[in-house]
Homo-oligomer: A and B are copies of this chain.
Amino acid sequence: MSQKMTLGQTAEIAGPKKAFIIPKPEVVASMIKRAKRPLLVVGSESAKTMTSDGVLVDTAIRLIGKMTVAATGHLVSEFLKRDVQGVHSISLMNLGDRLRDPLWGGFDGEGQYDLVVFAGFPYYLEWLVLNGLKSFAMDLRTISLTRSYQPNASWSLGSMKVDEWKEVLDKIASTLMEEN
């Protein structure tokens, strides 16, 4: 009789503060463009998550230059395999810990990031880290590009089918690549 959750795992039930759903890919792109210090973080599942560029790692590669890119776990090896330099390697725990410190200088020592985009993580792990940031890095804006709704981000994609998601991701990347 009652409505079922349709948004990802049942573990996702969030508290009173819940992510806005990103209405369309362009919004993400323009948030990133407008951000002073945007950071893209790609997680361990990025090497096997298919996108229109190949896998998520390849999509992240497209974005280097448009934003700082960091890889968690041992994912940096995937970039290096592709001979791509300039991706920062940091573990997810260390990253979470530093993002909550307003005095952290970032990878370049220039100061804390103001917008962090997450993609390619096990659902529950991203859920938890985002929730740490929600309460303990209140000034930080976070975007989740996971295919299921991530309630603890500031902005999240809604849950969608694989193909749709690939398109959305591609659209975000393409929009970012355009000249301002």
User: Nearest B residue to A17 by beta-carbon distance?
Assistant: B2
**Cα A2 to Cα B133 with chains together (Å):** 12
- Chain B: minimal CB distance from A147 (Å): 19
User: Nearest B residue to A14 by beta-carbon distance?
Assistant: B13
Q: Which of B13, B17, B141 contacts A3 (CB 8 A)?
A: B17
What is the predominant secondary structure among interface residues of chain A facing chain B? loop
**Cα A14 to Cα B1 with chains together (Å):** 16
Determine whether the beta carbon of B20 is less than 8 Å from that of A3. Answer: yes
Determine whether the beta carbon of A15 is less than 8 Å from that of B17. Answer: no
- Chain B: minimal CB distance from A132 (Å): 14
- Chain B: minimal CB distance from A157 (Å): 15
Q: Which of B1, B5, B17, B20 contacts A16 (CB 8 A)?
A: B5
Determine whether the beta carbon of B19 is less than 8 Å from that of A2. Answer: yes
Given contacts A3-B17, A5-B16, A13-B15, 12 further A-B contacts (CB under 8 A): A1-B141, A1-B154, A2-B17, A2-B19, A2-B20, A2-B134, A2-B154, A3-B18, A4-B16, A5-B18, A13-B14, A13-B16
- Interface check A180, CB cutoff 8 A: no
- Interface check A10, CB cutoff 8 A: yes
User: Nearest B residue to A20 by beta-carbon distance?
Assistant: B3
User: Nearest B residue to A153 by beta-carbon distance?
Assistant: B2
Instruction: Collect the chain B residues with CB atoms within 8 Å of residue A154's CB.
Output: 1-2
- Chain B: minimal CB distance from A98 (Å): 20
Within 8 A of B (CB), among A1-32: 1-5, 10, 13-20
A/B interface sample: 22 pairs, CB < 8 A: A1-B141, A1-B154, A2-B17, A2-B18, A2-B19, A2-B20, A2-B134, A2-B154, A3-B17, A3-B18, A3-B19, A3-B20, A4-B16, A4-B17, A5-B16, A5-B17, A5-B18, A10-B16, A13-B13, A13-B14, A13-B15, A13-B16
